[in-house]
């Protein structure tokens, strides 16, 4: 699998991890504090570090974390670990974030998600929230021997490649592919209208082509539908109806269902395979796939952001939002200067 566990370079991350309960099936760091991004944030040495912790038993984990890190939580902590676990699992995208935490001298944000919910998202793209984070380069700090989770992580990467293929022309560059992959989890995200730098996707990809190549290189070389010219950094894919139908049939289940909902006229009630066969012959196939992605991302990002007001607390939420708006404003100034 392309995702690699950090070795010596991960000491600083593992020091931060030592402040939390140990029962993690997966822990990773992501974002501008981990990988350099282009744009106005490129020289932020002390950017906030973003983490996700995957746990088999959220109730047990939050119970221990409340004892160790009571001050990390908003007012919801007084309602106890059972309530926090309910909020985590049943609202938003299944992840509970504590933000603006000072840990080992660094400002951090960390999300907690159950292993089973993450696996479902990786396989089916129910929310494409944490699954979307894992389609971009991340620093894996810890990972246990959960074979099902490891397989789901790999399947998520392969699905990202397939979805991107459907939205690209017959011939394209590595950069084109990686931009399309990085854009998947931002399709329809309201934060790209308010709160995020509009050039965010380009800023993620351009300085990190080598990291994307490391993540996806083997998958591209093994894919029978693509000619991968590594030396030239170019790719060619099968855009025939038969090739597109094969790709559509391997998309995650939730995306297939959203496509069926978009394509299926009222009262017709066609099955998914029939719809995908029709779409494979449609010149607008890629645009329909993009609409399907938006139908997944838009509601999950909105619900998760609304949930963040409660999990972070009003004061932190306002502060975090102001930081995002400031970053967006800096991006606009940098772009126009």
Under the banding of pLDDT at 50, 70 and 90, the label for residue 60 is: very high
Number of domains in the chain: 1
Question: What is the share, in percent, of the chain residues with pLDDT greater than 70?
Answer: 83
Q: Which residues of 29-40 are buried (b: 16+ CB within 10 A; e: fewer)?
A: bbbbbbbbbbbb
| pLDDT, tens only, 141-169 | 999 989 999 999 999 999 999 999 999 99
* Position 335 in a domain: no
| pLDDT tens-digit series, residues 262-300 | 998 766 778 999 999 999 999 999 999 999 999 999 988
> 226 - beta bridge partners?
237
DSSP per residue, 51-106: EEEEES-HHHHHHHHHHH-GGGS-GGGGGHHHHHHHHHHHSTTSEEEEEEEEETTE
Nearest 5°: the CA angle 32, 126, 226 is 70
DSSP code string of 148-173: HHHHHHHHHHHHHHHHHHHTS-SEEE
pLDDT of residue 127: 93
User: Using one digit for the tens of pLDDT, what is the confidence trace for 194-232?
Assistant: 444 558 899 999 999 999 999 999 999 999 999 999 999
- Res 261: pLDDT: 92
Is 152 domain-assigned? yes
Structural domain contains residue 195 = yes
Does 326 map to a domain? no
CB burial class (10 A; 0-12, 13-18, 19+) of residue 22? Answer: exposed
- Give the C-alpha separation, 74 to 195, whole Å: 22
Task: Read off the DSSP letter of residue 284.
Answer: T
Of 65, 102, 100, nearest in space to 80 by CA: 65
Candidate from 32-41, 180-189, 263-272, 322-331 with smallest mean pLDDT: 322-331
323 in a structural domain: no
Structure tokens at 147: 């074979």
Whole-number average pLDDT of the chain? 86
CB under 8 A, 24+ apart: contacts of 245-248: 245/276, 245/277, 245/280, 247/162, 247/165, 247/166, 248/166, 248/276, 248/279, 248/280, 248/285, 248/289
Residue (of 14, 132, 138, 114) closest to 61 by Cα position: 114
Q: Which domain holds residue 102?
A: 10-304
Helix, strand, or coil (residue 195)? coil
Backbone angles phi, psi at 54, to 5 degrees: -105, 130
- Return the bridge partners of 114, or none: 55
| 285-312 helix and 253-263 helix, angle to the nearest 10 degrees | 120
Per-residue pLDDT tens over the stretch 260-272:
999 987 667 789 9
Q: Does residue 181 carry a pLDDT above 70?
A: yes
- If one compares 119 and 269, the residue with the highest pLDDT of the two is 119
Q: Does residue 244 or residue 330 have the better pLDDT?
A: 244
- The whole-number pLDDT of residue 199 equals 80
pLDDT at 244 over 80: yes
CA distance 17 to 11: 10
pLDDT at position 124 over 90: yes
Mean pLDDT of 320-329: 47
Query: Angle, to 10 degrees, between the axis of helix 147-166 and the axis of helix 209-222?
Result: 90
């Amino acid at each position: 699998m392309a995702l690699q566990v950090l070795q010596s370079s991960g000491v600083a991350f593992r020091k931060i991890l030592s402040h939390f309960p140990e029962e993690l099936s997966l822990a990773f760091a992501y974002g501008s504090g981990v990988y350099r991004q282009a744009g106005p944030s490129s020289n932020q040495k002390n950017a906030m570090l973003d983490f996700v912790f995957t746990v088999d038993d959220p109730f047990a984990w939050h119970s221990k974390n409340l004892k160790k890190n009571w001050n990390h939580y908003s007012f919801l902590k007084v309602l106890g670990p059972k309530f926090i676990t309910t909020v985590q699992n049943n609202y938003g995208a299944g992840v509970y974030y504590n933000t603006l935490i000072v840990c080992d001298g660094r400002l951090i944000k960390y999300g907690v998600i159950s292993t089973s919910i993450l696996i479902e998202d990786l396989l089916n793209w129910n929310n494409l929230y944490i699954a979307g984070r894992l389609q971009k380069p991340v620093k894996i700090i810890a990972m246990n021997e959960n074979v099902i989770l490891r397989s789901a992580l790999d399947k998520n990467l392969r699905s990202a490649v397939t979805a991107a293929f459907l939205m690209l022309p017959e011939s394209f560059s590595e950069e084109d592919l990686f931009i399309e992959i990085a854009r998947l989890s931002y399709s329809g995200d309201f934060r790209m209208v308010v709160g995020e730098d509009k050039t965010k996707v380009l800023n993620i990809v351009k300085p990190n082509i080598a990291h994307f190549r490391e993540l996806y290189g083997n998958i591209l070389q093994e894919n029978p539908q693509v000619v991968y010219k590594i030396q030239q950094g170019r790719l060619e894919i099968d855009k025939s109806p038969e090739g597109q139908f094969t790709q559509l049939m391997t998309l995650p289940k939730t995306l297939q269902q959203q496509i069926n909902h978009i394509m299926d006229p009222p009262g017709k009630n066609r099955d998914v395979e029939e719809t995908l066969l029709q779409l494979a012959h449609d010149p607008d196939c890629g645009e329909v796939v993009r609409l399907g992605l938006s139908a997944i991302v838009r509601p999950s990002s909105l619900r998760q952001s609304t949930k963040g007001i409660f999990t972070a607390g009003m004061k932190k939420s306002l502060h975090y939002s102001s930081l995002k708006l400031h970053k967006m404003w800096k991006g606009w100034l940098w772009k126009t200067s």
